[in-house]
Amino acid sequence: MTVVVLGLVSALLYGVSDFFGAVASRARPATDVAFAALVVAAIAVLPAFAVVDSAWSVSAVVLGALAGAAAGLGVLLLYAALAAGPVGFVSPVVALMSAVLPALYAFATGEAPSRGSMLALAAVVLGGVLIGLEPDAGLRPHRRTVLLTLVTGIVYSAYFVFMDATPEDSGAVPMLSDSVAAVVAVGLVLLARRRREGPVRRPTGREAALMVAAGATQGVATVLLVVALHLPGLAIVAALSALYPVTTVGLAVLVLHERVRVRHAVGLAVAVLGVAGLALTRG
């Protein structure tokens, strides 16, 4: 039950973060938004050291750094893909890949959930994909958007695998290593772009607020995710990550006044049933 709750709340917060980041990326370069959000997220994970027992080790630092590099690149690619659109293609495909690929890795390396867990997992993934399908999902995405989306899904999957492999007693150490590596990775990309294109205008108050909000929610989500990944059930946590479009689309409806389609309601119902099934099968 604990891993389900942690994974679910983490996924919902990641959806909030993606919404803020996507809106900000429509006014500013995705690199700027990703870097600012990652800096804020790194600060947001620091309080975790005060409440989580943490043991330093080489594996915790290295695996956390690899996860962070993947996260930084993933955020950058995701914001760029969401800004290019259509979001109705990007969101569900990334959700599906980041749920299925880590689950396949977990099964290949010995994790064997029950038949009930498998059915519930499939329901969560299906629900997340249906929720992410927006009214413009019929638009044919550009080849660049397709490539960005597929690479983003692979990179996010690598994040789950690396972070799951960190020692169980490492606590907040891989979170900090993750955050620092992500900031450095995106910072190098930002520096290269600034040298090539020159300085950009300072963000407005609204843009700054969006980037801070994206980073803060991402930081809290990361803490919850790492705690969940240190519990048994990589496949379960990865499946729950497919629910992030719930909040992304929900905020789009509430804030941007987008219409709710039947498939969204069906997807939400399927996803909720899947989460309930996971909770019951996990005890």
DSSP string, 247-266: HHHHHHHHHS-PPPPHHHHH
pLDDT in tens, 200-256: 788 899 999 999 999 999 999 988 888 888 787 777 777 777 777 777 777 877 887
Note the Cα 275 to chain centre separation in Å: 18
pLDDT at 89: 75
Rounded alpha-carbon distances, angstroms, from residue 128 to 55, 113, 132 = 35, 20, 6
Q: Per residue in 21-71, pLDDT tens?
A: 988 988 888 889 999 999 999 999 898 888 788 889 999 999 999 999 998
pLDDT bin (cut points 50, 70, 90) of residue 168 is confident
For 238, list phi and psi in degrees, rounded to 5.
-65, -40
Could you give the CA distance from residue 87 to residue 189 in angstroms, rounded to a whole number?
24
Altogether, the residues listed in the chain come to a count of 283
- Comparing CA positions, the residue from 269, 270, 250, 272 lying closest to residue 260 is 250
The full set of domain ranges for the chain reads 2-282
**Is residue 278 over pLDDT 80?**
no
d(CA 271, CA 127): 4
